[in-house]
Structure 1
Amino acid sequence: MSHTARSRGALAGLVTLGVLATSACSYVVVGTPSSQGFPSQSVDEGTLQIVGAGDGPIDALSRNALADLETYWSDTFPTVYGESFPPLTGGYFSVDPGDVDPSAYPDGIGCGTDPRELENNAFYCSAQGVPNSDSISYDRAFLGELASQYGEVLPQLVMAHEFGHAVQARVGYPSTSIATETQADCLAGAWTAWVADGNGEYASVDTADLDQLLRGYFLLRDPVGTGSGEQQAHGSYFDRVSAFQEGFDDGAEACRDGFGPQRIFTQGEFTTDADFASGGNAPFGQTEEILAASLPEFWDRAFTEVLGAQFTEPQLESSDSPPDCASADVALVYCADGGDGAGLVAYDADFARTAYDLGDFAVVTGVAIPYALAARDQLDLSTDDGEALQSAVCLTGWYSAQVYNNQLDSVRISPGDIDESVQFLLEYGNDPDVLADVELTGFQLVDLFRAGFLDGAANCGVDG
């Protein structure tokens, strides 16, 4: 993110935002597996066989997820695609690449792959004329590392994503790798919502799992600066989380219909040496200058072009302690009776520097939330209740979309900026020391941001 000057267009909601012969979803995870407890209920091995599976909890979790995935898609596929779901013919394969017994895999794993080549990976094989086609293979040690860091829902998510590729193999793949991978995320989200509603016989997901799941997606994104057209592109953090939530909120029909050529992806490629060197981040001081310039620019235009009102810039202040007008000792504040008549938006300087560790746009995202409360105040809307906070997060998504679309004169987007918004909301959005009286999960906060980013003011509880 940096200062820039550009010709402007009208503000609007942003339009709605792989698989090869082998759908290889490669990840690298750093961490030490911890011991995992067995799920309370487990599928009998005779009911669903996984070649090479051991007697540990990761294979039990995977088997549970796969059993419920078979049930879900058997029930859902006819409604969404108009025909019965053909079961996978190639089966399932579990591998610990560091301890392989070749005799357990006489024909290799999916696509005849040597099981020792599966390290830090899981994939669906759709190739024809090779051993073990139409199958899912996974590194159970890798899934153990995911579970040790982000809970038992992450191995289930990997199964759901790969099963999404099996669905695509039956109905056709999108035209690009990034669309293929994010559609599989969407299909995984649809299944996860079904489980969260209590429909799964073996798998389970609760509210805390959803926040952990979104945090886990950070490990599964492409490196910042990867182009969206890369052959194995999987998507940015926001692209993948957004796709998952789309399926979770709107079901498999949305996944079927929403991943055509017109879908927009936030993943972008670094184009300058400076971006490579900085990771796309402006220095902290410049970040403060950008938010001080871009937030009033956005809201002045939003009021004039969309909301039919006149915006008065509130006072913006960075301080070492909350202002006297603040009702609570929190890092991000809006005071209607502060400033010089238009309200006061204040942020704690030390907190801002801590948030900057996530990236420059994390800081901007945080300050944009109380700034949106100032805008609501000028529209004679509430600023101190749950509805106000939900609206402010959504409006922050709208602002971020305009930054992403290069619609503001004062700021230029960099690859990874929108990912930093997701990180901020998951890390700090429901911290009572950051925003007062937050009673929303990280999952809900990201979903609100996504709604504003994709559809603009229409979803944010303001006119326009």
Structure 2
Amino acid sequence: MSSKPRRALLGAVLGALVGSLVLSGCAATLIEGTATPASAVRPDVAPADFPIIGADDDDVDRVARNALADLNTYWADQFPGTFGQPYTPLTGGYFSVDPDDLDPARYPNGQIGCGQAIDAVTGNAFYCSSDPGEPDGDAIQYDRAFLGELADGYGRFIPALVMAHEFGHAVQARVGYPVERSINVETQADCFAGAWTAWVAGGDAPHNAIRPGELDQVLRGYLLLRDPVGTGTRESQAHGSYFDRVSAFQQGFDDGPVSCRDGFGADRPFTQEAFQSDEELLSGGNAPYADTIATIAPDSLSEFWTAALRGLGKPFSPPTLAPFTGRAPECDGEQPDADLVYCPADRSVGFDEADLTRPLYASQEGGDFAVVTAMAVPYGLAVRDQLGLSVEGADAVRSAVCLAGAFTQGVRTGQTSVAISPGDVDESVSFLLDYSDDPQVLAESGLTGFQLVDVFRTGVLQGLPACDIGA
């Protein structure tokens, strides 16, 4: 994040305030259902009933087969009502490749879909369509070693998610692409994957289940799958930023395939952008920590909320931002046991520099805007306080997280003297996921990381009216 010229913001963490404000036991669920129970065992599809060419039937092939079978079931049911035409199964088949055992004898003519060499899928998974001159198109192929590595790092559902994304491209091949721009095509496929995942989470899939907590891992997996920070939206292979991809997935999860069909036209907003200068590229879009805490965070939060409340016909007095080390200041005679707090008694936002903001600023997925996102949550409680609204309970926490999203969108759209940098909003997603279950941070809110990101996304995309503070 940057001022003009460009500088940046950071990330802190939100805990619970003991006394006047207690962020504990709260629950704000914006999704229908959370996940199929852990005990919901689903039978595997027999290899003979759903052939995958080249498969060894290891764990990855099993997960992929189960996913692909259920994807066919889901789209056979959803396709006619969504697109007004019958669903046709893929004609080119499915291919599993082990890059360490490239045996051409296992594949027709030694090739995978669209007549490609078997090593074309190394380190990847992709759908290829039946374009003129491409034999054996309309096929999905995957590197099972690559998917296994993803599963090891981000959970056993990730290979299924990749299959759902590639199947989204097969859907597009049947009905047309939203616009001829890669980022729209790819994020729409993420949306289709989200719609299918919601069906799985609802317990309707014959061969797939997703356990509580795995939705957080699904979103974390998108961090690995995002474009490199600084990629422009017009790049020929652009897939989207972390926020763009997660947002598309959650849109499908929340609103179903019709929203995916209609929501990815040329006017769809994206947070991904290219670096604007060599200086920004070298810094990764991050301002110095001292500038972030001393000027960028307080200035941007104060500017945005002063203007926002003026628009609601209300005055606003910015809360004090108060750093501390190890032990939060007392609040109304109570000792908060948290790393980031809002105290209604003196209208202050405190943050633990030693345990939270400095380490988070230096972390691989952190940076300047992660701190400001975290600080924006209790700052949102200060906004609610000055509007005479509750700062306690599930509704207040949900509203504050949403308000942090609305603030982020305000910075993105030039409503403050501070400007967003590439990757800043991705830091918001990482913060919400990584600290959702931290007992000193967001765990006491009662929200999963998936839910926190969904509430934040609502604020980014829909603004203040969606955050329960005004029409």
TM-score, with structure 1 as normaliser: 0.90
- Aligned ranges for residues 229-378 of structure 1 at < 5 Å? 229-288=234-293, 289-305=295-311, 307-320=312-325, 321-325=327-331, 328-338=336-346, 343-350=347-354, 351-356=356-361, 357=363, 358-378=366-386
- Give the secondary-structure state (helix, strand or coil) at the position aligned to 2:49: coil
What letter corresponds to residue 269 of structure 1 in structure 2?
A
Aligned-residue offset at 1:436: 6.8
The equivalent of 2:469 in structure 1 is 462
What letter corresponds to residue 70 of structure 1 in structure 2?
N
Q: Measure the CA separation in 2 of the matches of 1:436 and 1:311.
A: 29
Unmatched runs of 5 consecutive residues or more in structure 2: 7-40
- Aligned ranges for residues 341-420 of structure 1 at < 5 Å? 343-350=347-354, 351-356=356-361, 357=363, 358-409=366-417, 411-420=418-427
Q: Note if contact 2:42-2:208 (Cα within 8 Å) is conserved in structure 1.
A: no
The equivalent of 1:15 in structure 2 is none
Q: Measure the CA separation in 2 of the matches of 1:381 and 1:437.
A: 20
Aligned-residue offset at 1:5: 7.9
The equivalent of 1:114 in structure 2 is 117
Q: Note if contact 1:318-1:349 (Cα within 8 Å) is conserved in structure 2.
A: yes
Matched, 1:443 2:450: yes
Q: Note if contact 2:459-2:467 (Cα within 8 Å) is conserved in structure 1.
A: yes
Matched, 1:199 2:204: yes
The equivalent of 2:135 in structure 1 is 131
Q: Measure the CA separation in 2 of the matches of 1:265 and 1:435.
A: 27
Q: Measure the CA separation in 1 of the matches of 2:260 and 2:85.
A: 17
Aligned to 1:64, which of 34, 56, 66? 66
What letter corresponds to residue 350 of structure 2 in structure 1?
A
Q: Note if contact 1:110-1:125 (Cα within 8 Å) is conserved in structure 2.
A: yes
Q: Deviations over 1:121-176 (max 9, x none)?
A: 00000133323200000000000001001111100000000000000000001221
Aligned-residue offset at 1:67: 0.4
Q: Measure the CA separation in 2 of the matches of 1:360 and 1:147.
A: 30
Aligned-residue offset at 1:407: 1.6
Aligned-residue offset at 1:429: 3.3
Distance 1:436 1:143, change over 3 A: closer
Q: Note if contact 1:331-1:435 (Cα within 8 Å) is conserved in structure 2.
A: no
Q: Measure the CA separation in 1 of the matches of 2:205 and 2:172.
A: 22
Aligned-residue offset at 1:437: 2.2
Q: Note if contact 2:329-2:335 (Cα within 8 Å) is conserved in structure 1.
A: no
Q: Measure the CA separation in 1 of the matches of 2:185 and 2:402.
A: 27
> How many aligned positions are there?
426
Aligned-residue offset at 1:111: 1.4
Q: Note if contact 1:330-1:435 (Cα within 8 Å) is conserved in structure 2.
A: no
Matched, 1:154 2:149: no
Aligned-residue offset at 1:359: 1.2
Q: Identity rate of aligned residues, in percent? A: 56
The equivalent of 2:4 in structure 1 is 4
User: How much is the aligned-residue C-alpha RMSD, in angstroms?
Assistant: 1.4
What letter corresponds to residue 261 of structure 2 in structure 1?
R
Q: Note if contact 2:195-2:255 (Cα within 8 Å) is conserved in structure 1.
A: yes
Matched, 1:427 2:434: yes
Higher relative contact order (CA 8 A, sep 6+): 2
Unmatched runs of 5 consecutive residues or more in structure 1: 7-38
Distance 1:178 1:388, change over 3 A: same
The equivalent of 1:140 in structure 2 is 144
Q: Measure the CA separation in 2 of the matches of 1:179 and 1:391.
A: 30
Q: Deviations over 1:351-381 (max 9, x none)?
A: 1112212111001101111111111111111
Aligned-residue offset at 1:312: 1.1
Q: Measure the CA separation in 1 of the matches of 2:437 and 2:297.
A: 22
